[in-house]
Structure 1
Amino acid sequence: MNKFLKNNFKGKKVLITGHTGFKGTWLTLWLNKLGAKIVGISKDWHGYPSHFKDLKINGNIKSYFFDLKEFNKLQNVISRFKPDYVFHLAGQSMVKKSYINPYSTFLTNSFGSLNLLEALRKMNKRCYLVMITSDKVYKNLEIKRGYNEKDALGGNDPYSSSKATAEIIISAYSKLMKNSKVRLGIARAGNVIGGGDWNQNRLIPDCMKAWGKGKTVLIRNPNSTRPWQYVLDVIRGYLILSINLKIKRNLNGTAFNFGPSHKENFSVLDIVKLSNKNWKNIKWKIIRNKDKFIHESKLLQLNSSKAKKYLNWECKLRISQSLKQTINWYRNYFKNKKKDVRRISLQTLIDYQNLWKN
């Protein structure tokens, strides 16, 4: 696996939108280690703490900070860089925030995707594009079986709807660019956990920030079930998809789910209790959710058999291992007084890569 990835990305030009975000930072670190030449576009540093800023990634990387809604700036960067691979992760990713700023959420997630597609269409160079959307693009019927790629898209909240809208745009452009030099794939991942996530209103970051200070974490939706999975499992899926777009032309325009097996779907409360195996004497308190106007699905599962069949991808880590790796990262972060983040994250990546013999 490691040689396979290095052979495909070493020396290649890779554009990453949202490279300072949680998943974007891990993707940037991995590609940097593989020897890729990286250009990243993000709106900002995503506040402080910032995993990306703390990593101090050097080498073949250049960062630009602007909104993807600014088409001329985006087109200028793309026309000059002419990437071989593109990973689109930029967007507004918080459900609660989408209720507060629905208009901005739709513009960012839908119009931002449109601008990227149009800029790449005009580039007139062979490249392989992975559009990262969400598991929440599906019309959620609270069903026990996992959603597959043929299920209807939908969305009861602005975030989910904006991502589903983006997918409709992506689908239209994939047909429009069918005979162009751009090949694209769509990635729909579940709830991703791992070190370096400092976002608000997310289970793991909320737990780590509270427990790191010896405080009690407040749990609002204890019975909600999600497809939890490790960040590097998901990033590996994105990398493998991009390579397969190059190898298999018939995958152009195809969507893939990236999620754990059905046995690995746990409730919020399950995750909190399982965390106690790696972080002793944790404290939590279940509170009543006062945001009644905010709709979030109680049950969400993915069927990732298509990724297994066509990409030979599946989660390498089980939830117990994912939590162990995640909590170890945060423990080391607090233990080292928020220093040595680069060393901690590189070792985390190396440990994951060592799961493969080559």
Structure 2
Amino acid sequence: MRVLLTGITGFAGSHLAEYILNHHPEVEVFGLIRWRSRRENIVHLENKITLVEGDLKDIVSLKKILAVVKPDWIFHLAAQSFVPTSWKCPAETFSINAIGQINLFEAILDLGLSPKIQIAGSSEEYGLVFEDEIPIKETSPLRPLSPYAVSKVAQDLLAFQYWKSYGLRTVRTRGFNHTGPRRGEVFICSNF
């Protein structure tokens, strides 16, 4: 089995790669990186994974990568995920997150591949939550409050649409705050 992780150099991606390698040693792990990706989170894994260079905003590079890797699973974790940056660069955030995902989907369809694709959403998609709506459920309304959150809602809905329209095997998840070793310093945890 072959797995492609977008965002492998990030916090969640590096831990997922580590988990797959430790618990499923028969799986070939490929990681999509950009030429400027910081690799400190995966330096301990580099002799166990295959890194492939490309960009979600470049469908040609994605097609080349997917044609070689032919993944059975794709964990799509790559994103511009820092909410304050999304306020400063909303178009770039949407381009990386939503348009990048469309490029990934279109490359998969163009090549006739049929991987299972996990789309990493965010609790930010829920946005405005009223007291009587707590605890949040998967069925809670999506009321995004930042450009980042809007881009993640777009990713969620695009995954649903590509499943219904083209049969793409997507799984949409909405992760809540998580932390641990290798978490970027720009992200903070509440201190209660």
TM over 0.5: same fold? yes
Q: Name which of 144, 157, 175 aligns with 1:189.
A: 175
Equivalences for residues 1-358 of structure 1 within 5 A: 12-33=1-22, 34-35=24-25, 36-43=27-34, 44-46=36-38, 50-53=40-43, 55-59=44-48, 61-143=49-131, 145-178=134-167, 182-200=168-186, 202-204=187-189, 268-270=190-192
What secondary structure is seen at the aligned counterpart in 1 of 2:154? Answer: helix
> Does the 8 A contact of 2:127 with 2:144 survive in 1?
yes
* 1:168, distance to aligned residue in structure 2 (A): 1.9
Counterpart of 1:26, as a letter, is H
Counterpart of 2:30, as a letter, is V
> Does the 8 A contact of 1:51 with 1:197 survive in 2?
no
> Does the 8 A contact of 1:18 with 1:89 survive in 2?
yes
What secondary structure is seen at the aligned counterpart in 1 of 2:116? Answer: strand
> Does the 8 A contact of 2:81 with 2:148 survive in 1?
yes
> Does the 8 A contact of 2:121 with 2:172 survive in 1?
yes
Gapped runs of 5+ residues in structure 2? Answer: none
Q: Distance in 1 between matches of 2:98 and 2:172?
A: 14
Q: Distance in 2 between matches of 1:113 and 1:126?
A: 15
> Does the 8 A contact of 1:42 with 1:90 survive in 2?
no
* 1:139, distance to aligned residue in structure 2 (A): 4.1
* 1:118, distance to aligned residue in structure 2 (A): 1.4
* 1:146, distance to aligned residue in structure 2 (A): 2.2
Q: Distance in 2 between matches of 1:19 and 1:127?
A: 18
Structure with greater proportional helix content: 1
Q: Distance in 1 between matches of 2:4 and 2:68?
A: 12
Q: Distance in 1 between matches of 2:175 and 2:21?
A: 22
* 1:67, distance to aligned residue in structure 2 (A): 2.0
> Does the 8 A contact of 1:69 with 1:111 survive in 2?
yes
Q: Distance in 1 between matches of 2:116 and 2:184?
A: 30
Q: Distance in 1 between matches of 2:12 and 2:176?
A: 12
**Greater relative contact order (Cα < 8 A, sep 6+):** 2
For the structure 1 residues 46 and 117, does the alpha-carbon distance in structure 2 shift closer, same or farther, using more than 3 Å as the test? same
Q: Distance in 1 between matches of 2:146 and 2:100?
A: 19
Cα-to-partner distance string for 1:207-231 (whole Å, 9 max, x where unaligned):
xxxxxxxxxxxxxxxxxxxxxxxxx
Q: Distance in 1 between matches of 2:191 and 2:5?
A: 34
Output the TM-score relative to the length of structure 1: 0.50
* 1:172, distance to aligned residue in structure 2 (A): 1.0
Cα-to-partner distance string for 1:296-320 (whole Å, 9 max, x where unaligned):
xxxxxxxxxxxxxxxxxxxxxxxxx
| Percent identical | 27
> Does the 8 A contact of 1:17 with 1:89 survive in 2?
yes
What secondary structure is seen at the aligned counterpart in 2 of 1:14? Answer: strand
Cα-to-partner distance string for 1:223-276 (whole Å, 9 max, x where unaligned):
xxxxxxxxxxxxxxxxxxxxxxxxxxxxxxxxxxxxxxxxxxxxx231xxxxxx
> Does the 8 A contact of 2:108 with 2:114 survive in 1?
no
Q: Distance in 1 between matches of 2:139 and 2:45?
A: 41
